[in-house]
Amino acid sequence: MKFAFSSLIAGALMLSVPALCVAQQTPAPAPAPSTTAAPAKTPAASDDARKAKAKECSAQADAKKLHGKERKEFRSKCKRS
C-alpha cells in the first residue's frame, strides 16, 4: 500500500515539474520606449569641468596647508559643493 501511494505521488510530481518549468520560461515584456529623451551630455565637457574643480580644490587645500586625512576630507567636500 505504501509503495503504491509513493508511486502515485512520484508520478504526480513528475507530471507537474515540466509544467512548472514551462511557466517559468515565459519572456518578460519589453520595456516601452521612452518618448522624453534627456539631452546627452558630452563626456569631455563634464570631465574637463570635474578636473578644473578638483584642481581648484587642491589649490585651496594647499593654501590652507592641509595634509593627510584633513586634506582628503576637505577636497571631498569641496568637489561635492
Estimate the crossing angle of helix 68-80 against helix 43-63, to 10 degrees.
140
Every domain of the chain and the residues it spans:
43-81
Euclidean distance between CA atoms 81 and 52, whole angstroms: 13
pLDDT at site 60: 96
Series of mean pLDDT values for 10-residue runs along the chain (81 residues): 70 63 64 64 77 95 96 94 86
pLDDT at site 69: 96
CB atoms within 10 A of CB 58: 16
pLDDT at site 31: 73
Contact between 41 and 49 (Cβ < 8 Å):
no
pLDDT at site 62: 96
